[in-house]
Chain A
């Protein structure tokens, strides 16, 4: 993907509040089911914020409420300092791709973007710039229905960039993209954030989110179970000490050493995984040596975002 076109929208130059998104007790109830229940979270300006949760957690409903597509049952929210009840005040500087790309199959990629550019009052010249940016320059005149899933996704991203947004909301932007496409989107999001654009991105690729998102909002069953810095979440997780004895026969003895010291331990393949503070690894090493066990490996690892996600979003983990 090439350089991002310069802003041509003077509205972007106005003063903006500190937060890109702020929601307070945001709730959406369908019948007796709460799709989103008293959600509270803030997204600071100029950051990349990951929005994660299992399928049906309420991510898309929340995004739709932020964009004025769905009326909240209760609660309030602001986007770029304006109430979500007045979407006309903030949407001219917001780009969004919700639940995958949706375009007119009989129109070309370029013509689809021109429809949206006309509607939003954006310069038509941006259409080709953005198609080049997302790597669709040579397929601009092809009908949307002939695009592959990855190409449709790229067109969706181009459409979201039309307003040269201060806030970019992307729902699963890497769906259908190949590894190089995923990397391009990741780089694009980083570049936009470095230029001051806030990126609010939902994704199932938690390793991707972990790599790029400074902030995180995690949903489960319509409730926010974490909102804050990704770093804080990962640091708060109990690390795992991974030890491997020189001889596999010593593995059960290592487990019992850890358990006798009051730490939970288990065998994973030839390794012993001990749930304990990182500082205990030195003690563990000494106790193993005193027991005549030589360790061929001793390392402390923190759970990945994916492991943390599963722990927090599982029925037991969330309690």
Chain B
């Protein structure tokens, strides 16, 4: 499987993909962190309508606040990358080349996932560095104390957030990979994935009370935020794992059995 990982890494590290992803991730990190500090003390100023004050951000957990906010968007970026990298093999017809050089189809799938997972780690690490740096830069202007951020409690919370954001990002990536394998078209996989997560799930959550805890995107997103009042972290882990394992099991079986006729 190592060969598949190396081959996939060659595709992922191409400048157009690696640099544009870094630029998007950096842009989102700066944007979201800036918004937190610019709108501090200005009412219900987060996506979930919470009130963020300078006192809140001055706590040890303040170091990871901007980072946590970006997680859902990182997930969408991962969904797009995983979906396109998987489905493009069908649209370009390159899957036949891959399977002639590596006929073990599960190794192809496993190697692709591991390589894209490594790419997701790079994305999340970049985001962590930029959001934390931006937070340190913006904190003095917003009268936010950073004295607790560097404590072991602060760093531990940052580490937990990193793991949660990474799990959420890889979860969304796997969601994209499932769609890519199922639909075999990058455009279809990305558009359906984005519309489902950004639009349909939000409409369903708003229209049907309590439905959010059963929806895949809401649960994967909730992992990145470390759980919420409405949905517990462990519930989201369980639900996400169930959805993704069943989905991946189905598409992996299709991938293994399906004739490669294009």
Contact present for A119 and B98 (CB under 8 Å): yes
Q: State how many angstroms separate the Cβ of B2 from the closest Cβ of chain A.
A: 9
* Cβ < 8 Å to B, chain A residues 79-125: 87-88, 91, 94, 96, 98-100, 102-107, 111, 114-116, 118-121
A87 to B88, CA, bound (A): 24
Q: State how many angstroms separate the Cβ of A48 from the closest Cβ of chain B.
A: 20
Q: State how many angstroms separate the Cβ of B18 from the closest Cβ of chain A.
A: 11
Query: How large, as a class, is the contact surface on chain B?
Result: 20 to 34
Contact present for A70 and B7 (CB under 8 Å): no
Q: State how many angstroms separate the Cβ of A303 from the closest Cβ of chain B.
A: 35
Interface residue? B6 (CB, 8 A): yes
Set of chain A residues within 8 Å of B11, measured between Cβ atoms: 104, 107, 115
Interface residue? A318 (CB, 8 A): no
Q: State how many angstroms separate the Cβ of B10 from the closest Cβ of chain A.
A: 5
Set of chain A residues within 8 Å of B260, measured between Cβ atoms: 64, 69-70
Interface string of B101-124 (1 = CB under 8 A from A): 111100000000000000000000
Contact present for B259 and A70 (CB under 8 Å): yes
Contact present for A107 and B3 (CB under 8 Å): no
Set of chain B residues within 8 Å of A299, measured between Cβ atoms: none
* Cβ < 8 Å to B, chain A residues 142-191: 159, 162
Interface residue? A26 (CB, 8 A): no
Set of chain A residues within 8 Å of B7, measured between Cβ atoms: 115-116, 118-119
* Chain A contact residues, CB within 8 Å of chain B: 61, 64, 67-71, 87-88, 91, 94, 96, 98-100, 102-107, 111, 114-116, 118-121, 159, 162
Q: State how many angstroms separate the Cβ of B109 from the closest Cβ of chain A.
A: 13
* Residue in chain B with minimal CB distance to A90: B103
Set of chain B residues within 8 Å of A99, measured between Cβ atoms: 93, 96
Contact present for B97 and A159 (CB under 8 Å): yes
Set of chain B residues within 8 Å of A69, measured between Cβ atoms: 96, 99-100, 259-261
Set of chain A residues within 8 Å of B101, measured between Cβ atoms: 91, 116, 119-120, 162
Contact present for A121 and B97 (CB under 8 Å): no
Contact present for B103 and A91 (CB under 8 Å): yes
A103 to B257, CA, bound (A): 23
Known: A111-B10, A111-B14. Contact between A67 and B100, CB under 8 A?
yes
A98 to B94, CA, bound (A): 10
Contact present for A119 and B4 (CB under 8 Å): yes
Known: A111-B14, A115-B7. Contact between A103 and B94, CB under 8 A?
yes
A119 to B87, CA, bound (A): 18
Q: State how many angstroms separate the Cβ of A163 from the closest Cβ of chain B.
A: 8
Contact present for A114 and B10 (CB under 8 Å): yes
A96 to B100, CA, bound (A): 8
Closest 9 CB pairs of A and B: A102-B93, A120-B101, A119-B7, A87-B103, A118-B7, A69-B260, A119-B101, A118-B6, A70-B259
